[in-house]
């Protein structure tokens, strides 16, 4: 049986939900306050879970110091104190909903962790607020 | 791959664990303090998780404003500041353990969310206290 | 300078806000859902803070094992899994608002802790829900 | 002795720290990432504490339903999902640091609560992140 | 469908990560500060999840009073206020990483809970710090 | 009126409560499990509060980046992953109770922050566990 190791991280960012193909009225109807043209923001909390076998010599699935450093270099430095719509090229065409952000983070970290081992599986949970959060891949 | 979207909610309620087919002595033996005939109560915390595909136009699995409103109308207004045994017809014959409450909430929300889409799967976690909680359907 | 030592505890209870001198209509107007005649309930979280000098031999203001035991014997055993209105004589005539409960707990613990030392000052914070709490004596 | 009653609330907003009288270089040196011209954001958590005597008829310092409504009408509707620098006139000339935001919220709520009673004292704690928070008036 | 019932517990312990077959230099390289020969420590938080059918008479998957007592007798009394490397025979030869501790706790509790019913499945989550935690069996 | 600015930090450490002038029996009687000769440990959470006037140009009481760096350099690097009794000279003669640790941290940070301004007042809260914490100087 395998063990899942999880690490929490966080970043603060501004964003706006807006579909360029829609009128302002439709954006307002679907996204409501989240569509404020001047942006609003969140303290995003992130849980990165890595599943794999426990190494017999180290007693670890993955060295948490390395995982922490990957999250810092690839996610925190990249997204913290940013405007997701304006500062992150990926979100110039993709609406930065929590669902899209969690998939974006998954792809970046999946690629990094695959370099350590192809066998490691990952899952990301992203809290947009303490009451709203998303998980990818899905839990059910 | 699908994304799971989760929303927290809460309600405060009184309840009592009591099996009408048992003697008071047996109720006391099995349920202990939870069987106090004058009731006790909890701040129930609720996590509603919805799994599905991400809509390409909205970037969402389900509109959280709609999910929040369903939880408010069907669960919070229904259960908040209530005595589960006396005020909720379902619990006149069913013992309001956390296991039974979580299934009851699941059935109500499953029916509501199926009207949005038959493809959406849901899972409910109910905290009776910060140290005791139940999840339905099961996580393992 | 003195140190404040704090200990968290908790109890679950049912209650109802109701002033016997008022009509049902007035109780409803003032207390709203909190006046439900069948009661509702909470997971009360309690912080007991004790201020005093640090004993040179033990390095402690008060032995936390003793403080924990006093809170358990005098508050948790007394209030946990109870209906405050029906099971606690004090609240037969006093409305069990958070303000009145925190004063009641203060008087019980003040008396107990004075037996250890007259010089120890205490302050109680009571969470009725994670979003509503009261402190006695006042913090400002 | 008086009781302090506290209520938590929250709002999500974007902001930027920027002193118009300084060069970009100096803004960068003093405010660092917080000065990103495209803004970043936070989930602000707010604790509003009100101190006063307990009313003998209601058992309350202040009706929490009224306090909750004041916070909703005057703070949450006003600041939630906003860009503090662009959408809130007060912060067009005042830098929206946590210190300035907490004072701004204090002045609005102090004025509202004084209309209920001149004798009520208030104190505000504002969490900008789970690790950074400010309190006004000061606690020490 | 089955329900998962979860109970939180905690213990405080000292430990050190150290592989006897490696040089001090290699231990330092792999385990860093966690290899301090004088030990360091944690407040370990534990979630024990039990999955099974709901008993029709009790409305429970497992009596939480019994589960709480098993965790207390077999885990808390055994590990609380201990030095894992020196006081727990199992960790004289096995490195007390979070991965190994969670497996050790799983084996103890699996054996205890199997005596209640062979059909109950269990899963353990162990928080070493609020930001680092492990789950066994794996969640993904 | 002044504002209080607070910053949370944390460190993990092992310790043991032991008075060299007492017999083992008396140490056991007073300190119980906390006196285990092989040590136990905690995730210490720290809140550093600084009170002062708000600077008109920066909108700040103290630059949080500087406060964070002081806490990191003087407290976290000094105490994290350490055995307080063996690795920290001050605790070779002083029992490392939470009361003594919070005073020790206060003296270090008071000295550092006085170099920024003599007018700044500080207060430290130290959580030994989520249920036990101490504050210096005292809050009441």
CB A121 within 8 A of CB A50: yes
**How many CB atoms neighbour CB E71 within 10 A?**
22
**How many angstroms separate the CA atoms of B76 and E132, rounded?**
33
Closest CA to B124 of B44, B50, B42: B50
Tens of pLDDT, residue by residue, chain A (140 residues):
899 999 999 999 999 999 999 999 999 999 999 999 999 999 999 999 999 999 999 999 999 999 999 999 999 999 999 999 999 999 999 999 999 999 999 999 999 999 999 999 999 999 999 999 999 999 98
| B1 has a pLDDT exceeding 90 | no
Mean pLDDT along residues D95-124: 98
Confidence of residue D1 (pLDDT cuts 50, 70, 90): confident
pLDDT digits (tens, 9 = 90+) for B23-54: 999 999 999 999 999 999 999 999 999 999 99
B38 contacts C82 by C-beta, under 8 angstroms: yes
The DSSP secondary-structure symbol of E74 reads: I
Summarize pLDDT for E32-54 with one digit per residue, the tens.
999 999 999 999 999 999 999 99
> In chain B, pLDDT over 70 holds for what percent of residues?
100
Q: What are the start-end ranges of the E strands in chain E?
A: 3-15, 40-52, 82-83, 121-129, 132-136
Distance of CA E19 to the CA centre of its chain: 20
Shortest alpha-carbon distance between residue B61 and chain E (Å):
21
Q: Note the pLDDT of residue E1.
A: 86
Cα three-residue angle B99-B105-B110, rounded to 5 degrees: 120
Grade residue C90 by pLDDT with cuts at 50, 70 and 90: very high
* pTM of the entire predicted model: 0.96
Query: Mapping DSSP to helix (H, G, I), strand (E, B) and coil, where does residue A2 land?
Result: coil
**How many percent of chain E have pLDDT more than 70?**
100
Chain F interface, best mutation among C59, C64, C76, C140, by max F CB count within 10 A: C59
Q: Find, among D36, D33, D29, D46, the residue nearest to D124 by Cα.
A: D46
Mean pLDDT of chain B: 97
Q: Which of E5, E51, E69 to mutate to test the interface with B (most CBs of B within 10 A)?
A: E5
CB contact under 8 A, B130 and E49: no
Contact F40 E86 (CB under 8 A): no
Q: Which residues contact E20 (CB under 8 A, 6 or more apart)?
A: none
**Residue F78 token pair:** 């000094």
Catalytic residue among E29, E81, E99, E107: E81
pLDDT digits (tens, 9 = 90+) for F65-113: 999 999 999 999 999 999 999 999 999 999 999 999 999 999 999 999 9
Pick from C38, C39, C42: which is nearest to B42 by CB? C42
- Tell me the pLDDT tens digit for each residue of F18-53: 999 999 999 999 999 999 999 999 999 999 999 999
Q: Which of B4, B126, E133 is nearest to A139 (CA)?
A: B4
Task: Tell me the average pLDDT across D57-73.
Answer: 97
Mark out chain E residues that contact chain B at CB-CB < 8 A: 1-9, 49, 51, 54, 57-61, 63-65, 121-123, 137, 139
Q: What's residue E116's pLDDT?
A: 96
Which segments of D20-137 are extended strands (E)?
Answer: 40-52, 82-83, 121-129, 132-136
**Domains of chain C (ranges, CATH numbers):** 2-136 (3.30.479.10)
pLDDT of residue F1: 86
């Amino acid at each position: 049986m395998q063990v899942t190791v999880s690490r929490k991280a966080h970043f603060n960012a501004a964003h706006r939900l807006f579909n360029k193909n829609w009128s302002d009225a439709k954006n307002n109807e679907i996204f409501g306050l989240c569509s404020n043209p001047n942006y609003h923001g969140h303290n995003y909390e992130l849980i990165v879970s890595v599943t794999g076998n426990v190494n017999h010599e180290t007693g670890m699935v993955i060295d948490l110091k390395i995982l922490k450093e990957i999250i810092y270099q690839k996610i925190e430095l990249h997204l913290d104190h940013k405007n997701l719509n304006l500062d992150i090229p990926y979100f110039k065409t993709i609406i930065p909903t929590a669902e899209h952000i969690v998939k974006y983070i998954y792809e970046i970290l999946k690629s990094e962790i695959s370099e350590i081992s192809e066998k490691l599986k990952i899952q990301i949970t992203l809290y947009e607020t303490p009451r709203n959060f998303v998980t990818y891949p899905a839990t059910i």
